[in-house]
């Protein structure tokens, strides 16, 4: 165990240490205390060569800190070059007692990357209003092969997309994101910023009861389901409301004994709210309710949505709804005046 009680910054001076790297393997790095940060990347991009300061955690390595920052604010003037602050974890654990921040609201030259591979965990344990996992400007996240990105189940931010958030998150081959919900501040919306989640055999677990995933500019924060799609997990006794647009042709599976509710999306621009409708517009993959319940609030689905309801699972259709084929041996419950003519049990 290596204990370090002050700020630790990897690649603080870009010109002096172009590709500074710290590797933690077969040991524990216990860094800092309350309010003491572990930073990957400096404050000013270089002028002579692009750099990639890196924290690498492998071979049962463990890093514990208060706040982990991957990428710091930079300045895009004076002919400076890009910097790629990187966290790469395989067979290791990084645990922040307060928060994890990937990127910032700074310029386009700071482009942070986070890779979580096999048996990797990146955990933010904080519970206060400013804790959780925050994605910022030009951030790239990849969670694959059983890797896990986890936010505390009672955090008021969950996975927080700042108003400057742009970039991509790829969740692949059994990788999982487990957070209370996905959120952002509706009062600070930058219409030029696009952030896309891509799921291809990945999982998204919502851990808070009565949580609601709702973001500013939902058309700029989109879930795209690729070939092997997404498994959305809500555990027993919990209910999660989901408003982000879903796109692509990949499959969707609702897992866990809890309830997931799709409601029409809303677009926030400052204090103005516009109803967008159709969480599932542009998504043509098969939706399977494997466990628990999937509820479609009026206007959430389109006729491109095909649903298979497995034995013991429930599809709840509330209000006027237009959906495609429904099959399986589960239960379909219809509310409102619209008939539900389906090939499985109706109650």
Q: Give the separation between CA 136 and CA 101, rounded to whole angstroms.
A: 7
Q: Is the dihedral of CA 271, 276, 279, 285 positive or negative?
A: negative
Q: Could you give the strand order of the β-sheet that contains 331-334, starting from the edge strand earlier in sequence?
A: 211-213, 239-242, 259-262, 293-296, 314-317, 331-334, 345-346
Low-confidence residues in the chain, pLDDT < 70: 12-18, 43-47, 73-82, 105-108, 153, 155-156, 186-189, 216-219, 265-285, 298-304, 319-322, 324, 335-347
Q: Please give the angle made by the CA atoms of 205, 210 and 211, to the nearest 5 degrees.
A: 50
Q: Give the separation between CA 87 and CA 92, rounded to whole angstroms.
A: 12
| pLDDT 10s digits, 223-262 | 888 989 999 999 888 999 888 888 888 888 999 999 988 8
In this structure, what token pair is assigned to residue 21?
């790297």
In this structure, what token pair is assigned to residue 268?
């926030």
User: Which alpha helices (DSSP H) does the chain contain, by range?
Assistant: none
In this structure, what token pair is assigned to residue 199?
């799921």
What pLDDT is stored for residue 25 in this prediction?
97
Q: Provide the 10 A C-beta neighbour count for residue 345.
A: 14
What pLDDT is stored for residue 273 in this prediction?
46
By the 8 A CB rule, do 295 and 318 touch?
yes
What pLDDT is stored for residue 315 in this prediction?
87
Q: Give the separation between CA 195 and CA 127, rounded to whole angstroms.
A: 25
Q: Is the dihedral of CA 229, 237, 129, 131 positive or negative?
A: negative
By the 8 A CB rule, do 141 and 168 touch?
yes
| pLDDT 10s digits, 157-196 | 789 887 777 889 999 999 999 999 888 876 666 777 788 8
What pLDDT is stored for residue 337 in this prediction?
41
In this structure, what token pair is assigned to residue 113?
């990357």
By the 8 A CB rule, do 231 and 260 touch?
no
């Amino acid at each position: 165990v290596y204990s370090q009680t002050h700020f630790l910054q990897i690649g603080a001076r870009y010109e002096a240490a172009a590709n500074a790297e710290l590797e933690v393997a077969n040991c524990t790095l216990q860094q800092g205390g309350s309010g003491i940060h572990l930073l990957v990347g400096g404050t000013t991009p270089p002028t002579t060569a692009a750099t990639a300061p890196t924290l690498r955690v492998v071979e049962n390595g463990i890093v514990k800190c208060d706040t982990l920052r991957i990428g710091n604010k930079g300045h895009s003037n004076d002919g400076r070059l890009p910097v790629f602050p990187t966290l790469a974890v395989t067979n290791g654990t990084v645990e922040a007692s307060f928060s994890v921040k990937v990127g910032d609201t700074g310029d386009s030259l700071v482009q942070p990357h986070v890779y979580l591979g096999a048996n990797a965990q990146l955990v933010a344990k904080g519970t206060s209003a400013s804790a959780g996992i925050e994605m910022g400007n030009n951030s790239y996240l990849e969670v694959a092969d059983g890797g896990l990105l986890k936010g505390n189940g009672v955090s008021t931010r969950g996975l927080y997309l700042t108003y400057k958030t742009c970039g991509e998150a790829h969740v692949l081959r059994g990788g999982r994101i487990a957070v209370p919900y996905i959120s952002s501040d509706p009062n600070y919306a930058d219409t030029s910023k696009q952030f896309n989640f891509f799921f291809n055999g990945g999982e998204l677990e919502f851990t808070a009861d009565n949580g609601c995933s709702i973001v500013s500019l939902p058309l700029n924060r989109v879930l795209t389901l690729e070939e092997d799609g997404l498994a959305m997990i809500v555990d027993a006794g919990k209910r999660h409301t989901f408003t982000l647009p879903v796109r692509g042709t990949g499959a969707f599976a609702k897992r866990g004994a809890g309830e997931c509710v799709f409601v029409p999306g809303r677009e926030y621009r400052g204090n103005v709210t516009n109803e967008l409708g159709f969480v599932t517009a542009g998504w043509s993959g098969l939706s399977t309710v494997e466990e628990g319940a999937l509820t479609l609030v009026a206007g959430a689905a389109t006729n491109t949505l095909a649903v298979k309801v497995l034995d013991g699972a429930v599809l709840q259709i509330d209000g006027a709804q237009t959906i495609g084929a429904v099959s399986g041996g589960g239960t379909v419950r219809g509310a409102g005046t619209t008939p539900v003519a389906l090939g499985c049990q109706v109650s």
